[in-house]
Chains A and B, each alone.
Chain A
C-alpha cells in the first residue's frame, strides 16, 4: 500500500543553514501521524519544503505515491491541504468566503460543502462572521474547515494548537483524529507531547533535522527521548483508570 506521504533522502533548508541531510520518513494512509521535536528541530521547515516555500537540494517527496517534484502548485494543492501555524485572515472576508477560496485549485466550493465542514468541526455559528474578528481558537478551527473543504486525502498541520486554549486544542485534534478514522491521512507537527500521546496513531521524533525515532506514540515518546532530544527530566506516568500515558514535567 502506498504511503500518504513519503519523504526519501530529503536534503535542504535555508541559504545559510542546511536543516535536512537525508531525511526519510512516511505517514501511512488513514492514520493520524504526529511529528514532534524541540524548537528548531525542523518541523515547520519540513512543511515549507513540502509546500514549495523552500527548495530542497535533493531527495523526493511522494504524496499518494506520486512524486511532487514535477508537479505545479495546483496539482500539489489537489493532493494535500494545509493548516498553518501562523495565518493571515484578511479584512472584510467572511468565514464562508475564506473557506470558499479552496475553489482556486478545484471545483467550486458549494454552500453545502462549507456548511458540512463547519458542522464537522462544530462551528456552524461562525459561517457569516468576519474572519478577522475571530479569536485565535476560532480562526484555527476555520483553517481546519478550509483544509477539510479541500477534499484531499492528506492534510498537513503545522503546530495548529500552539496558541490555543485547552478546549479549542481538544476540539481541533479530536476533529483531526475523526478525519483520520474516516480515512483521511493527517500529518501533524505537535508541540504538546500529551496531545501527541492522546490523539496520534503514529509518531516521528525529529531533532536538528534528523529522525531520531518512530513508532506508536508510546514507543516514540519515552523518558529516554525526553532526556536525549528535549533535554528534559520530565517523567511519563500511566493513568490508572484509562491506561493513558501522560508526560509530567
Chain B
C-alpha cells in the first residue's frame, strides 16, 4: 500500500459556544492515497463538509481548529503561513463544490475563470490552448465556443464540468469533491461520476469525496469513512463497509437506503379517481411589449388514469414537466388543452368558486419543507387553516389539528411553535398533516423526501405509506429518485421533455423497460450493482 498523500490526524474543530455540540469535527483521522477515492459519507450536520473545508483552509471564521494536523506533501497545512497556503490552493489541492449553479462568477467568461487558475499561479505562455485542452478533457462540447460563454448559458452538468476542469487545471495531487453531484439529475450525475473516476485514474489523483448518498459511494469509492455527529464511526474498504457494516449507525444508514425493489403489487377496484387525457401546458420564455417569447412545451399530451387506492409514480429529470403536470391537476397552473376528470367531472373549465369544493379533496405535499410553511404562523394554525377556510369552526379544526399531529408522530407541544423550530423531517410531517387536514381523497406528493437525509427519508416514506393505507388515499407521487419510486408506487409513469414516454406496473417498468429513456434512467442509478444489506436484527 502506498503512503498517503494527504492525512488528517486527530482533527478537532470547535463550534461557537451555544451550538448543539462542543465540536463540529472531533478527533477525525483520515488518509487519502494517490490514485484512490476516499468517500466520506454521513448525514447533514455530521461534519463531513467541515472536514473538507479545513483541508482547503476555507473554514468559516469563528470555527477554531482545536487540535490535530493535516499533513500534505510534507507540510502541516494548519501551520502554513497564509500566502504559502494560498499558493497550494488550486495548484496542489483542487476543490469542486456542491452547487454548480452558483459556484461560478456570473460576470466572468468561462475561459477567463479557468484561465485565472493558471494566471494566479504564475503560469505563462499560451493559456488559451491549455484551457481548451482542459475543456476537451472534461468532455464539454465545442470548447472554442464554451471558452467565450458566460456561466448562465451552461447547464448544471456543464458547469460542474467547468468546475472540475478548473480544479484539475494545474494537476493537483489531491482533489476534494464536496457533494459534486447532489444537485444534478441522475443521468448527469452518472456522467460526472464517470468523468471524475476517469480523470482521477489517468492522473493518479487522490480524491476526498464527500457525499450523503450510499449509491454514489457504491459507484466510485475505494475507501469509505462514515461520519456521525463529527466523528468517524466506521472506516474501511468500500466493499467491507457497504456489504458488511460493523457500526450500528452504518447499519442503520445502509438499511435506510431505498432498496429499489418493487413492492408487492396491490389490487385495487377499477374505480377511477383521476383521469387525465391530452393535457397540454406551455410557457413563454422572454418576450415583452413588442415580441412574444418563445414557447416552451412543459407538458405535452399527458394522459393517465388513477384508480382508487392506487399510487402512481411520476418520475423524470428536472425540467421533464412532472411538477408542472401535478400543478395542473390542482389547478395551480392552467393547461391549454385536455381534460382532467376527477370522479368524472372535468376540473379544467371550473371557475374559482366552482373549483373550491374540489380543492379540499385534492391536496398537495411540497418538496421544500423549509419554504412551504409560512414562517410567521404557528403550526396549529397552519394545519387548521385549510379546514377553517372550508367552513369548519376554528376550535373544531384546532382539535383536529392536534389529532393529526399525533398521526404524523409529533407531540402536542408543536401546536404553539413556529416552523423554524423544527428539523426538515419534522417540517415535512407538518406539511403532510396540513395536507390531510382537509381529508382529501387524492394526495399529490411533489418530491416529498428529496430534501431530507436518508434515515429521515425512510421515516417519512413509512409515514406516508401508513397514512395512505389508513385513510384509503389515492396518491400521485412525484420523484426523481427511481429507488424511492420503486418502493412506494404501484405503477410508474416516466416523463421526458413533457411527455409520458412509458407507463406501467412498477415491476414491469423496472424489470423490462420498453422505452430507451427509461433504460437510460435505470442505468444511471448510482451503485445499482450494490444491494443494501438488510439490517441484522
Interaction A to B: no
